[in-house]
Amino acid sequence: MTVAANAGPDVESPIYETGGNGPKYSNPGGQFCAFHLRTTTPHVWAWLYGAERESLIADGFEPSAQDDWFKVKTMLEAVRLVKWTLKAHQDRV
């Protein structure tokens, strides 16, 4: 989430859905990522604009049954997600 918040000077303050699902980050092009935080299991679901399912699977991320969402379970996976978050921001501008 820190990467999303600092992806560029045009990132808008995150919007939090009612129900506490997690923050959504936008720039002038629209929403470029979202995170659904989990408290009962040790992972976060991440959605990234334009991310190709096959590419994220090849990078080691576990997909959700729901399209375009991926599980982030460890700090190492969070670090690998950085490039995808920055790409989503850039592609959405």
C-alpha distances out from residue 60 to 22, 33, 67, 77, Å: 23, 19, 16, 8
pTM of the model: 0.89
pLDDT tops 80 at residue 84: yes
pLDDT tops 70 at residue 20: no
Q: What pLDDT is recorded for position 75? A: 93
Domains of the chain: 2-92 (3.90.1150)
**Interval 53-71: pLDDT, tens:** 999 999 999 999 887 899 9
What single letter denotes the amino acid at residue 5? A
Could you list the beta-strand ranges (E) of the chain.
Answer: 15-16, 23-27, 30-37, 44-48, 62-63, 69-72
Return mean pLDDT, the chain. 90
